[in-house]
Structure 1
């Protein structure tokens, strides 16, 4: 029986478990209540997924929630490991540190997405996100342009980080983790009430680690002070800030040829060079980021609340970025390198009015808001230079030959690279300005039937990408959303359906007549994505088993393609379809045992394009593996002499993935993989001791997006936490 069938049977069997649930309290110290059972991973109601308080069982949209207690059990020290608990999500690219788009790329429902939201608001990173300040991660599925606009979403969904908040109980914890590949990590989480109305909370982390390859490292420092001040019964202020500083040496990204026929047909040469980074620790990238959010919540009445928000972000990139480009000869890759220097600033201002009221005995929950978003991206640094040739056959890195015809090793030092890449290449700038208005209402027609209707009006000026040559002027988009939920068993079982829209602003392009005459700039309407989805949600047996099953169909239209009747003209007509099934389960089948699991299968296809582009009928490269499975189960002894001892086990499966898939160049597939992890722990009121083993079987596996990137081999991490 193959892995997919086994995984499906496993997920199906989980639906048969039942149990009781104890209430959970979100404080720093975990509370264990004798004689009860608790679904520790169950998602509570969210205030950000729909921009209003709404329980999952009554929300027509699908999302996964990854809580902080799960990350502790798994000894998670990086954002990628955290997202391995989300159904249908896998990483395509590791962080490059580039200005503007240097964060990690993930695939969700057939489309690439970067983490770009904190507490439901735009927030930048050009590296990764430190997990120390995470209360939970909301992985929101489907095109969500109606409530969140076009700048922070993808058609597959979005990733929202909900941060830890101050509260009125003194406490905290200090942790130290030590692991394989020189990993050292010190974290602190301290909550301090100032008086009856105010409290501060500080989360901080210092992390150093080396690569499993022959070179590469990362040193980072993270600090997140936050403040909550309840002025009176009506007015509350929340301030959240995050400072992140990272210095790293990153392995060269290995790109397969996008423009020449593929010269590789197996993974043999890549396996042979699995531990080679083709870089040196002297070629470093420095990344700094800052995020700040200030919220004022004012209770206008018993039914209405005003939320006023200011969110500001900035990132800084300075250092060496490099990649290896396929020479299309079955062996060699040319290194291209530059020294980047850039900054990225964003400002977002929102005013929301959130209501909960009745009309003719029918409950309405409504949010109406205005949103202003501005971004400014500045790039400088040097130009690109070819610097050295890597041979996968020989595992060498050379830069020309000497007078005797002998290869010269590439000098991978800052001085050597600076001499090759030359001087400053000039500055570029890209700005965006977006003004939006939106409204969303959830109407309870009966206690069991509710419907949602939402609409956004969006006005865009500026460059849609830093690579655009022409600015877009006055592009307007309308984005609707509809949903319905019927609770077959009230608060226990619901069926739902949704129609959701997402959009992207499209840059103008230069076109001409078929003979090349009459050159002119042509503007386009925003690109559109529309999703239809149906499914089932459960919250059974006193909430101890929560599950969702859904089928979705996303169709993207109005992509700009070449006019088949005029090679010098562009038209809107490209189309992509992405459809699939997702199953997510969170359960506590017996006392002390908690598990989270997911299964997804996605079919994505380019259904319309310009003749000769090479993608028609093929799966897009950003779509990732067709099938993904995630599972984590943790058992903790709840009574007796072994009380507090825990054991965890789980992992991830991904099917074969076509990292390059083009008719005019060829297809290169990364093999399927199964990665297993385990953990041991002991926990009491004062201490937690943990031991985590990742990639138990030392599996060689890869990620990519027209690239081939080896992933970390077996590693072990030991940690100790003191609570106070």
Structure 2
């Protein structure tokens, strides 16, 4: 027996060791036979998995004998499932090819150390087909969810501070029609109007609880996206969180200065594993008070999403965002654009920025809904059909007021005007894309062919604006209406709903409804002439049908525009360095105008061509040291022509002859120099001016929407990867801008907002299932301002604390 037991034990251990000696290995390539790093390789229904290395190679060892299904997935590629049998030996799968497709259903990622958490190398939205940043001739910034978490970001304005060359002009007012925030980008104003590559609206600030990443596309982008959602400076695309294979989520609570309290939840589960149906829900409730004497915002947000993978060829997805928000509209000081300003800077203005000049009794409600349905069907290994439908609806109800310096009463007196808003905007969009990846001879083509129908309807049932007292920047008040001859020394204008309603009762109520439609067709091809040289060619045919006020046909008009795009990219060092150049186009539809001297007879309608903006850009992108250093350096030159302006020889005529010139350069760096350290930095310099116009007030002047000439941002985040301090980390960073004009017309003189640099810092502890963090914004309590013919004080020092539990 003593002899038999050791032999039995030896045989048992041998059998166990042989039973777990199976090994799987292979290499993952794309359709052009290039290796794909970071691919998730997962054995289904287990927690066993790995990721491919920089050469696309993966290996799984110590596997029991048996039959398995191997799931191989990567963002931007179609998931592949392979049956595998292991029987006490090594199974070499050799090469596995993944075909590119949209980001429909994300596989759960195997936990591991990411090389560069502040950058993202591939997206299916920027080019409307899966394309690595390194292969794209267009410049864009990506703000990842990890970056937002490391900074404890609770609002959209703070999120966009991470994109090089982007500056907030003014925050969301909640006003109907254009209540979202405005940002300067490459010398032009832009609003966030794109969600997952489709039109999405908001009359309030965008909730970051459902943001997977933000993509800021630089330069005119009308060829693929049209002019309804883009500007000459670029566009902003918000990519939302999507369902993934698995069950999990997180709960998070953030509290901080000025009454900030925010609870967010994220839950993902399978409704049917067998049928491939997965559901994800993101939700948030937040309240926040102003740093001023009045002002608040509260919002409830819920975002359901559903993915149904019918089979390997067919997938459906549904995404929704529903927001209920109430806020006081922020009170900017609007400077007069036609009369001289009394003060030339903040010191002369003597502004008490702690005064809000409003009341918590006067609020706006901003319910917003965005819905999208996507259907992807694999026609073959080289072609995919993508059908997209989106609907958006946003409303504004409540009291909106503004302060304007009419230059009549003197002493930098700002008159308050307010109305009662009752506005609605709704949009619908239908797109049909055919996406191909194929070879003609030896030349690889990645093609998107698309049709797009977009319609927008707006209704206005608000009151007219009523005068409601005056204020001075230091806090004085009076009741003298600047537009009446009578001088009123003192009059009480209480900021209450009852008092305001009594004044607005004498105002008329509008009943207006307008609508326009856009019909478009577009095509784009990324053609690989060699392994290192590619060309991107694109063209859009856009037909704009304006129905204007639906009660009359007098304001109807339509225009048809061609919008081309061309890019060239060369990789002197394959997958490491790319040199690019591009030509990009944007346009704006211009309404007809009445021309002719009315004293000489009836005026006539004159039509115009669409206004055009063309960009020439070149630069370099790097992806070196195994994705540890991603950098983009670019120079651009944008020229806007065909602006409609008054004829210098006749005030009764309009000519299409105005021009704007905007040029500059940008640098953006994402680095992971050592394990645990991620760095993001950006710098931009923009020179912008109106070069041709008969309106001499702005000739050779920098447009107010161009923002500051110089912008810079930096953020470094370090998390100890091991040792006794494992999980502990800190973050340090700053944002800054050069001085900029709040107003700079010849007739008004200049009002200059000062330059600023704002520092931020954070401390955190990251454990397996939870994270605790502290964030100090505006650490040195810098007093600074932003504006666009306005003066808007920014938030002083604020401390935030966050606790997040992951399950």
TM-score by length of 1: 0.94
The 2-side partners of 1:425 and 1:646 are apart by: 57
The 1-side partners of 2:194 and 2:330 are apart by: 27
Find the counterpart in structure 1 of residue 624 from structure 2: 540
Find the counterpart in structure 2 of residue 13 from structure 1: none
1:414: Cα distance to partner?
Answer: 0.6
1:678 and 2:761 are equivalent in the alignment: yes
1:656 and 2:739 are equivalent in the alignment: yes
1:330: Cα distance to partner?
Answer: 3.6
User: Cα distance 1:266–1:483, how it changes in 2: closer, same or farther (>3 A)?
Assistant: same
Find the counterpart in structure 2 of residue 281 from structure 1: 360
- Contact kept in structure 2, 1:269 and 1:392, CA below 8 Å: no
Find the counterpart in structure 1 of residue 277 from structure 2: 198
Q: Secondary structure at the match of 1:236?
A: strand
From 133, 147, 155, the equivalent of 1:78 is: 155
From 189, 202, 209, the equivalent of 1:132 is: 209
1:256 and 2:335 are equivalent in the alignment: yes
1:606 and 2:690 are equivalent in the alignment: yes
Spell out, residue by residue over 1:333-356, the C-alpha distance to the aligned partner (whole angstroms, 9 max, x if none). 100100110111100000000000
From 449, 453, 477, the equivalent of 1:368 is: 449
User: Cα distance 1:148–1:263, how it changes in 2: closer, same or farther (>3 A)?
Assistant: same
1:400: Cα distance to partner?
Answer: 5.2
Find the counterpart in structure 1 of residue 83 from structure 2: none
Find the counterpart in structure 2 of residue 3 from structure 1: none
Unaligned 5+ runs, structure 1: 1-19
The 1-side partners of 2:132 and 2:695 are apart by: 47
1:38 and 2:115 are equivalent in the alignment: yes
The 2-side partners of 1:28 and 1:480 are apart by: 36
1:121: Cα distance to partner?
Answer: 0.4
From 299, 303, 307, the equivalent of 1:224 is: 303
Find the counterpart in structure 2 of residue 646 from structure 1: 729
- Contact kept in structure 2, 1:37 and 1:588, CA below 8 Å: no
Q: Secondary structure at the match of 1:708?
A: strand
Q: Secondary structure at the match of 1:407?
A: coil
1:212-361 pair list within 5 angstroms: 212-268=291-347, 270=349, 272-328=351-407, 329-361=410-442
- Contact kept in structure 2, 1:397 and 1:409, CA below 8 Å: no
User: Cα distance 1:65–1:669, how it changes in 2: closer, same or farther (>3 A)?
Assistant: same
Spell out, residue by residue over 1:33-62, the C-alpha distance to the aligned partner (whole angstroms, 9 max, x if none). 4xx662111212111101001111110000
- Contact kept in structure 1, 2:557 and 2:591, CA below 8 Å: no
1:159 and 2:243 are equivalent in the alignment: no
Q: Which has the higher contact order (CA 8 A, sep 6+)?
A: 1
Unaligned 5+ runs, structure 2: 1-52, 57-72, 76-105
Find the counterpart in structure 2 of residue 695 from structure 1: 778
1:398: Cα distance to partner?
Answer: 3.4
1:520: Cα distance to partner?
Answer: 1.1
The 2-side partners of 1:21 and 1:39 are apart by: 13
Q: Secondary structure at the match of 1:610?
A: coil
- Contact kept in structure 2, 1:253 and 1:322, CA below 8 Å: no
Find the counterpart in structure 2 of residue 7 from structure 1: none
From 32, 44, 50, the equivalent of 2:127 is: 50
Spell out, residue by residue over 1:665-690, the C-alpha distance to the aligned partner (whole angstroms, 9 max, x if none). 11111000000100111111111101
The 2-side partners of 1:271 and 1:29 are apart by: 56
1:252: Cα distance to partner?
Answer: 2.0
User: Cα distance 1:522–1:666, how it changes in 2: closer, same or farther (>3 A)?
Assistant: same
Find the counterpart in structure 1 of residue 289 from structure 2: 210
The 2-side partners of 1:269 and 1:205 are apart by: 42
1:2-13 pair list within 5 angstroms: none
1:462: Cα distance to partner?
Answer: 1.0
Find the counterpart in structure 2 of residue 620 from structure 1: 703
1:272: Cα distance to partner?
Answer: 3.7
The 1-side partners of 2:491 and 2:514 are apart by: 40
Spell out, residue by residue over 1:537-570, the C-alpha distance to the aligned partner (whole angstroms, 9 max, x if none). 0000101100000000000001100011211000
The 2-side partners of 1:208 and 1:463 are apart by: 40
The 2-side partners of 1:638 and 1:558 are apart by: 57
Find the counterpart in structure 2 of residue 17 from structure 1: none
- Contact kept in structure 2, 1:457 and 1:478, CA below 8 Å: yes
Find the counterpart in structure 1 of residue 614 from structure 2: 530
1:426: Cα distance to partner?
Answer: 2.0
The 2-side partners of 1:254 and 1:465 are apart by: 32
Q: Secondary structure at the match of 1:258?
A: coil
- Contact kept in structure 2, 1:146 and 1:502, CA below 8 Å: yes
The 2-side partners of 1:409 and 1:515 are apart by: 46
Determine which structure has more spread, i.e. the larger CA radius of gyration: 2
TM-score by length of 2: 0.84
Find the counterpart in structure 1 of residue 98 from structure 2: none
1:82: Cα distance to partner?
Answer: 0.3
1:335-484 pair list within 5 angstroms: 335-393=416-474, 395-399=475-479, 407-422=490-505, 423-462=507-546, 471-484=555-568
The 2-side partners of 1:29 and 1:596 are apart by: 26
1:102 and 2:179 are equivalent in the alignment: yes
The 2-side partners of 1:669 and 1:22 are apart by: 53
1:591: Cα distance to partner?
Answer: 1.3
- Contact kept in structure 2, 1:514 and 1:567, CA below 8 Å: no
The 2-side partners of 1:72 and 1:421 are apart by: 45
Q: Secondary structure at the match of 2:358?
A: coil
1:96: Cα distance to partner?
Answer: 1.2
- Contact kept in structure 2, 1:587 and 1:594, CA below 8 Å: yes
Spell out, residue by residue over 1:150-176, the C-alpha distance to the aligned partner (whole angstroms, 9 max, x if none). 110000000000111101111100011
Find the counterpart in structure 1 of residue 85 from structure 2: none
- Contact kept in structure 1, 2:108 and 2:244, CA below 8 Å: no
Q: Secondary structure at the match of 2:679?
A: strand
Spell out, residue by residue over 1:393-442, the C-alpha distance to the aligned partner (whole angstroms, 9 max, x if none). 4x1233359x9987344200011111112244221112110100000000
Find the counterpart in structure 2 of residue 185 from structure 1: 262
